[in-house]
């Protein structure tokens, strides 16, 4: 079953996902925590729920640090290869250990272009595990259609 947390940008979707994870008190996955530099939104950190381990996932173009290993761009965001590899590592461990439920923040425009967490999400859907998923409301119908999500609930 796919449990969807949806809403507009900056509407508290990530906080809701974290609250659900703490309430359920089991499973694993990752969330995208906002990263600020001198009080300016600079991008996102990818944070593993069970360990708190994190890595830089994205930066806005005007905050990209030297040596940044970009794998994708979308609008004014640059996404890191290290962030994608981090998410893949978490996904492999979840599958190998049969950890349930799975928490993913978020599936959106990048995944609709078959980038970002696209392959990870497809793998979890194939396993038919319980997934708690963040989807921006502007992408909700497209994501449901693209990934053929037949059984879901909005939480």
What does the pLDDT read at residue 7?
Answer: 94
Does pLDDT of 128 surpass 90?
Answer: no
Strand partners, 63: none
User: Each residue of 11-56: pLDDT tens digit?
Assistant: 999 999 999 999 999 999 999 999 999 999 999 999 999 999 999 9
Does pLDDT of 6 surpass 90?
Answer: yes
CATH number at residue 61: 3.40.50.300
The overall average pLDDT reported for the chain is 96
- For residue 130, give its domain range: 2-154
- Give the CA radius of gyration of the chain: 15
Q: How far apart are CA 24 and CA 5, in angstroms?
A: 15
* Three-state secondary structure string covering 4-64: EEEECCCCCHHHHHHHHHHHHCCCEEEEEEEEEECCEEEEEEEEECCCCCEEEEEEEHHHC
């Amino acid at each position: 079953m796919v449990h969807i947390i949806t809403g507009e940008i900056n509407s508290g979707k990530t906080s809701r996902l974290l609250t659900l994870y703490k309430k359920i008190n089991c499973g694993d996955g990752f969330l995208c925590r906002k990263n600020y530099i001198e009080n300016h939104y600079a991008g996102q950190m990818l944070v593993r729920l069970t360990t708190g381990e994190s890595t830089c996932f994205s930066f806005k173009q005007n905050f990209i640090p030297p040596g940044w290993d970009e794998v994708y761009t979308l609008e004014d965001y640059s996404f890191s290869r290290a962030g994608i590899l981090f998410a893949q590592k978490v996904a492999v461990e979840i599958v190998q250990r049969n950890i349930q439920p799975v928490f993913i923040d978020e599936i959106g425009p990048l995944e609709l272009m078959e980038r970002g967490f696209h392959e990870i999400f497809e793998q979890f859907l194939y396993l038919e595990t319980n997934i708690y998923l963040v989807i921006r409301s502007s992408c909700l119908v497209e994501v449901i259609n693209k990934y053929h999500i037949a059984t879901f609930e909005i939480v």
